[in-house]
Structure 1
Amino acid sequence: MSRVIGYFLLAGFIILFFSAAGCATVDPEQAPDIAMPSKIVDINNKLITTVAPVNTIPVSLDEIAPAMQQAIVAIEDERFYQHRGLDFKGLLRAAYQNLRSRGIVQGGSTITQQLAKNLYLGPERTLGRKVKELFYTIKLERTYTKKEILNMYLNRIYFGQGAYGVEAAARIYFNKSAKDLTLGESAMLAGLPRAPSYYAPTTNPEGAKERQKLVLNRMRQLGMITEEAKKQALAEHIQPRTKPQVLQQAPYFVAEIIKYFTNKYTNGLEMLYANGLTIQTSLDLDMQKSAEEALEQGLNQINEEINGALVAVDPQNGYIKAMVGGRNWQKSQFNRVLARVQPGSAFKPFLYTAAVASGYTAASTIYCEPVTYQVAGAEPYAPRDHKIGYHYRPFTLKQALAISDNVVAVRLADMLGPDAIVRYARAMGIESPLRPFLSLALGTSEVTPLEMATAFGPLANQGIRCQPVYILKITDSAGRILEEQKPQLAKVIDEKVAYIVTDMLKAAVQPGGTAARIAWLFPRPAAGKTGTTEDYTNAWFVGYTPNLVAAVYVGYDDKQKKVGLTGGDIAAPIWGQFMQAALKDTEVTDFLAPPGVVQAEICTMDGLRATPLSGDTMSAYFIQGTEPKVPCLGDFGWTKPTDAGEGVRDWVENPAGRQPP
């Protein structure tokens, strides 16, 4: 009787098989339609992430531990290397049970059958779908070797926790690559596909251990391992991750890469998900991790609600080396590196660059006193300094920039004209709309952290601006280059001007400057500028060395809330921690003075040449021929006025200057 049933079943399957072959929509004689996710790698070819609808990291068979290959065969399809895709004994047994139950209640699927189902068929559980599965199974076996089939299977099977493929699973559960899996770990992973949510070692360690034991026993029965190897694997201490790893690193940066493809190509997402591209980027993963740690640690000193951003750019080529658009991608995908906010006094270097290029020098002096400007259609504008209002004394431009004097900045902006500030900011890299008011000198127009890092680049790079670069090269699965981006350079300011302003900004990170604490956090030659908005809503620090520029922004997304700290208090320490970690393995270098620049010692009170009788002096750099020639008279050349409105000398030096670009 059982033999008769078997014949009928076999005949029925033959009829259904050829019917399924006739309506098959895919030809496995050709390469199967296997989506090949694209890889995004950093500048050193380290994998950042794969771009796919699911977490998957394809690897070749030789990148998978042999123990893992054996374990999956032992538990899923022990006769894999003997059959031609179908295990008829298991198939007939499953078919008999399914017919009795009038439904699909038992599976006898081989590894090839499971692969065929994943590649070509949907999730429905019908007899017709099962027969199509057999058709595709036979086609796969005729087209591919056993190793190729096993490789495809191990790259597609679901292991739970969002991991498709053994490489993703190994990283999620054990924080290692599939090639480094031990026998014990391999057996534990091999037990997952049957019921990933139940046997997951992160949620059910007892169940996972029992399943591992079953796999190891089966491997021993099949002669794949020795009894001693089995015992060692069972005794192996396996500590799976209690919290699954987030496979995507640098998520804000990756989002910009994906946006680039969707904006440039009509089928951009399809290209990324299925074409197996390799996108080499400018990012440096080590710097990225340092940036994430520095920002998180700095923000933690305030509270959990405050947010921020950090972006680092190589000023010599424009490569974006690190990008942290916020402290938690899972909570907010808003990239603050590209968000416009007021930079406060961090904007002042563009004013001082325009001034030096127009003929002012680091020794030019401007008096800090009450001053009011009439503004058409608005209330009169009266700038004040932070906390104290006015200093009632003259400052050299170098001093004024170091201590971030607002009154001096606005008076200088009035002498130059706001349009000059706009022209220089534009030339150096600011693209956001800028309002040409006197208050622009104090950073009242909104800009992005990336713009600020880019625009400080010419000061670090001898006056040469570099356009920011995300992507270096895109290659297809065959290694053909589809795109390659080269640095875009432009000379925007004179190298002598860049060096003089850099020397002025060095004073800001030294004792007496607004970011003095950086001197011990980052004991290297550096220059930079703090920024704090008038209402303490935003805090900034933008600084640089000869080979790296970084901008740090701190603020709440809800602009009704105030940071309550200055850029020197919160943003500068984040910058210092990041830079120290990012450049720890690089040679210490200083900014090189170009030909035509000379150094001179000047008096701080009048900007004249210092003498042995001079009291408070400072070093400054000048375009050759503009350095002060007249000696100062020490502390006898200036007397503090007794009243703010009386006895004020005209300390403003306003030479006929060169025109801004």
Structure 2
Amino acid sequence: MKYIMSILMMVLFAVVLAIIFLYAQIRFDAHKIIEYNPKLTTQIYDRNGELIANLFEEEHRLYVPYEEIPARVIEALVATEDTSFFEHGGINIEAIFRALIKDIKAMKLVEGASTITQQLVKNTVLTRQKTLTRKINEAVLAYTIEAELSKEEILERYFNHVYFGHGYYGIKTAALGYFNKSLDRLSLKEIAMLVGLPKAPSSYDPTRHMDLSLSRANQVVNRMYTIGWISESEYTKATLEHPVVYDETLTRNKAPYVVDEVIKSLLPEYEDIKRGGYQIYTSIDLKLQHLAHESLNVGYQGMVSRAGKNANLSELNGAMVVVENTTGNVLALVGGIDYAKSSFNRATQSKRQPGSSFKPFLYQKALDWGYSPLSEIPDISRTYVNSETDETWTPKNYENNFEGLITLKEAIVHSRNLATINLLSLLGMDSVHKELKKDGFKNIAMDLTLALGSFGISPLEYSGFYSMFPNYGVKVEPILVKSVITRTGEEKVYLPKTQTITSAKQSFLMIDMLKEVVKRGTGRNAQVSGIEIAGKTGTTNSNVDVWFCGFSPDIEVLTWYGNDNNTPMHKGETGGRAAAPAFKHFMGKYLELHPETTRTFKIPEGVNARKVDGTTEYFTDVSPLPKSSVRELKEEGGLIF
């Protein structure tokens, strides 16, 4: 007797342990459903609300709350999968008995009797394997879930969790993916196609098996008609309908260089960026993004044509950045000719020498320190000796000549290297270097090569510095991400940083000089009819880097080309020859898209104008006309504006 009691106690103990284990497992699995927190897709939008890309890990899922699910969608699911859903407590006993009879006849599990709640459990925490143990767990979990959640909450979890084929998780994702429609715009047939998918997502995927998908949808429609939930006319119309189905990539990435930069910039703050279900709104305009890519290719193809068929151009690439002047909004960012061949983002990751495009920053210092556009500086050759290494440096002009004395305006219009180096020497290296560092420039040389832009900077960062010219002395840091909205609806707004570098009146003097660069100087190929353009070309030694940094009253466009391995490009390639045409193409098309854009630069208060040798020259109290020019005006009679 004692032996039998021991065995019974052991059996009882085992049963208790099994119950405890089952309860613990059920409690854990139930919690996953009750406290539902799935991985959600993050979506990136352009400034007009157009989708740029979907970001996700493993499962592409867009969440939809129950209140936003149309009643017709719910009716279609309930009619097809679980007509008594709103009456039972998680298990449909009558359906179980029907299925059991069929299973006994077949001597195996051939038919289930799963309610929607059971299907949710099966899809969320259990396997699809047809075993008795799994069915018991499923039933217990279904009762547990029904005790904790309302019917509406169960439906919300079902519609957001189940797989609809083609990589789409959740019905909102499937509706947008297959039909490019929101749920409230779906037809009855489209709803039926979606509701029929979870039973066999691969078999009923309309992008692969349209015939099977339509057949399954007609079964759903027929069921709704049979139980009287739709009219005969609705039934007939839905049965005959053949919806248009789209077969698109899950990411829908329309601007990969932009997307990469968005992720890179936000990742430190949002570690779950690919699963957190964020809505990211950028400053990008997709139309301008595509135009920038097209324009970059215009300049690229020009270089390819000039290089000839036998040239090795495997390293040749480029970048373009378009920024709205006053806001710093990055309207377009293209980091290369072909993302499929190279995902390296040259607009943000490459540090290239700006060459002569850097000269305006030195000339602006000269203007701010009392020089005038008509002040003369020496355009003569000199040899410089490094006191530490005894190495010599004899810089040259691109044309291999020199002009003697030349005005600041003529020096920058024709990009005279010698005049710029001499100007830097006159201004004082220490003073200029200190001021440029204060303005935000980093890693700039502490020698006269600074005059020729002998440091590295990315096009996007460079655009921020260039913004000081069209913004009348105010540097605006470029901004790509405008706001981020979390899954709970909280919004964080990002604003650009600004820094005043000089006054509006002094900045206008540089604008006028840079207008002349485009009108009759090295930037002539950037001219666009019907609008004032200002800008500066840049070409480094041996044609390693070529730039055109141009702007209109409203936008700024920076274009760069070079070889990725920093070797010289084809002989003769310059900023004016290679980069300026890309700018011209972009700006010409931009005017067609935005005819309302501002066409002329405004003249700020404090700027005066006079005719000198028949040409309008501008000056301020800080940068007065040189005495020689004033003397000529008195002799000839100057016209004051």
TM-score, normalised with respect to structure 2: 0.78
How do 1:360-439 residues align onto structure 2 when only pairs under 5 Å count?
Answer: 360-366=371-377, 368=379, 370-376=381-387, 377=389, 380-386=392-398, 388-390=399-401, 392=403, 395-431=406-442, 433-439=443-449
Contact kept, 8 Å, 1:312 with 1:322, in 2: the verdict is yes
The range that moved more, 294-303 or 321-330, is: 294-303
Q: State the alpha-carbon separation in 1 of the partners of residues 449 and 189 from structure 2.
A: 67
One-letter amino acid matched to 2:183:
A
CA shift for structure 1 position 446: 1.0
The range that moved more, 498-507 or 485-494, is: 485-494
- Find out whether 1:186 has 2:191 as its counterpart: yes
- Find out whether 1:59 has 2:64 as its counterpart: yes
- Find out whether 1:534 has 2:541 as its counterpart: yes
Q: State the alpha-carbon separation in 1 of the partners of residues 536 and 195 from structure 2.
A: 56
Change (3 A) 1:277 1:242: closer
CA shift for structure 1 position 542: 2.1
Q: State the alpha-carbon separation in 1 of the partners of residues 251 and 448 from structure 2.
A: 47
1:446 to 453, 456, 463: 456
Q: State the alpha-carbon separation in 1 of the partners of residues 297 and 598 from structure 2.
A: 26
Q: Could you say which residue in structure 2 is the equivalent of 1:163?
A: 168
TM-align CA RMSD: 4.1
Change (3 A) 1:179 1:393: farther
CA shift for structure 1 position 58: 2.0
2:468 is paired with a residue whose SS is helix
Q: State the alpha-carbon separation in 1 of the partners of residues 216 and 580 from structure 2.
A: 53
Q: Could you say which residue in structure 1 is the equivalent of 2:361?
A: 350
One-letter amino acid matched to 1:383:
P
Change (3 A) 1:220 1:513: farther
Q: State the alpha-carbon separation in 2 of the partners of residues 42 and 186 from structure 1.
A: 29
1:566 to 543, 552, 574: 574
Q: State the alpha-carbon separation in 2 of the partners of residues 178 and 296 from structure 1.
A: 39
Q: State the alpha-carbon separation in 2 of the partners of residues 449 and 18 from structure 1.
A: 64
2:271 to 269, 272, 281: 269
The range that moved more, 487-496 or 184-193, is: 184-193
- Find out whether 1:172 has 2:172 as its counterpart: no
Q: Could you say which residue in structure 1 is the equivalent of 2:504?
A: 495
Change (3 A) 1:247 1:394: same
Q: State the alpha-carbon separation in 2 of the partners of residues 569 and 171 from structure 1.
A: 45
Q: State the alpha-carbon separation in 1 of the partners of residues 558 and 602 from structure 2.
A: 22
CA shift for structure 1 position 447: 0.4
Change (3 A) 1:209 1:501: same
Deviations 1:125-170 (A, max 9, x none): 7654544433333343344444443333333332333322233333
CA shift for structure 1 position 435: 2.0
Q: State the alpha-carbon separation in 2 of the partners of residues 535 and 100 from structure 1.
A: 87
Contact kept, 8 Å, 1:525 with 1:589, in 2: the verdict is yes
How do 1:131-146 residues align onto structure 2 when only pairs under 5 Å count?
Answer: 131-146=136-151
CA shift for structure 1 position 464: 1.9
1:336 is paired with a residue whose SS is coil
Deviations 1:7-58 (A, max 9, x none): xxxxxxxx99996444321555954234455555555666555654232222
Q: State the alpha-carbon separation in 2 of the partners of residues 316 and 121 from structure 1.
A: 56
Q: State the alpha-carbon separation in 2 of the partners of residues 301 and 70 from structure 1.
A: 60
Change (3 A) 1:412 1:152: same
Contact kept, 8 Å, 2:325 with 2:471, in 1: the verdict is yes
One-letter amino acid matched to 2:322:
A
Q: Could you say which residue in structure 2 is the equivalent of 1:544?
A: 551
Structure 1: stretches of 5+ with no match in the other structure: 1-14, 602-608, 611-616, 635-661
Q: State the alpha-carbon separation in 1 of the partners of residues 563 and 106 from structure 2.
A: 62
One-letter amino acid matched to 1:446:
G
Contact kept, 8 Å, 1:555 with 1:563, in 2: the verdict is no
CA shift for structure 1 position 454: 0.4
The sequence identity of aligned pairs, in percent, is: 33
Deviations 1:375-423 (A, max 9, x none): 453753333344x433657543223323333333333333334555544
1:621 to 615, 618, 623: 618
CA shift for structure 1 position 584: 0.9
- Find out whether 1:515 has 2:523 as its counterpart: yes
Contact kept, 8 Å, 1:17 with 1:135, in 2: the verdict is no
Change (3 A) 1:130 1:499: farther
Q: State the alpha-carbon separation in 2 of the partners of residues 287 and 203 from structure 1.
A: 35
1:529 is paired with a residue whose SS is strand
Contact kept, 8 Å, 2:384 with 2:393, in 1: the verdict is yes
Change (3 A) 1:632 1:50: same
Q: State the alpha-carbon separation in 2 of the partners of residues 68 and 569 from structure 1.
A: 60
Change (3 A) 1:36 1:198: closer
One-letter amino acid matched to 2:501:
V
Q: Could you say which residue in structure 1 is the equivalent of 2:637?
A: none
Q: State the alpha-carbon separation in 2 of the partners of residues 76 and 537 from structure 1.
A: 67
Change (3 A) 1:399 1:270: same
Contact kept, 8 Å, 1:317 with 1:488, in 2: the verdict is no
- Find out whether 1:461 has 2:471 as its counterpart: yes
Q: State the alpha-carbon separation in 2 of the partners of residues 43 and 448 from structure 1.
A: 24
Contact kept, 8 Å, 1:462 with 1:499, in 2: the verdict is yes
Q: State the alpha-carbon separation in 1 of the partners of residues 112 and 476 from structure 2.
A: 61
- Find out whether 1:594 has 2:604 as its counterpart: yes
Q: State the alpha-carbon separation in 2 of the partners of residues 107 and 537 from structure 1.
A: 70
2:537 is paired with a residue whose SS is strand
CA shift for structure 1 position 426: 3.3
- Find out whether 1:149 has 2:147 as its counterpart: no
Q: State the alpha-carbon separation in 2 of the partners of residues 125 and 422 from structure 1.
A: 76
Change (3 A) 1:19 1:227: farther
Q: Could you say which residue in structure 1 is the equivalent of 2:370?
A: 359
Change (3 A) 1:75 1:287: farther
CA shift for structure 1 position 353: 1.5
One-letter amino acid matched to 2:609:
Q
Q: State the alpha-carbon separation in 2 of the partners of residues 103 and 446 from structure 1.
A: 73
Q: State the alpha-carbon separation in 2 of the partners of residues 190 and 302 from structure 1.
A: 55
Contact kept, 8 Å, 1:65 with 1:181, in 2: the verdict is no
TM-score, normalised with respect to structure 1: 0.76
CA shift for structure 1 position 578: 4.3
CA shift for structure 1 position 425: 3.9
Contact kept, 8 Å, 1:21 with 1:135, in 2: the verdict is no
Q: State the alpha-carbon separation in 2 of the partners of residues 301 and 63 from structure 1.
A: 52
CA shift for structure 1 position 367: 5.5
Change (3 A) 1:423 1:500: farther
Change (3 A) 1:520 1:277: closer
Deviations 1:200-249 (A, max 9, x none): 33344444444444444444444444454455445545443354363345
Contact kept, 8 Å, 1:67 with 1:182, in 2: the verdict is no
One-letter amino acid matched to 2:619:
F
Contact kept, 8 Å, 1:507 with 1:527, in 2: the verdict is yes
- Find out whether 1:111 has 2:121 as its counterpart: no
Q: Could you say which residue in structure 2 is the equivalent of 1:33?
A: 37
1:247 is paired with a residue whose SS is coil
1:552 is paired with a residue whose SS is strand
One-letter amino acid matched to 2:464:
T
Q: State the alpha-carbon separation in 2 of the partners of residues 224 and 87 from structure 1.
A: 21
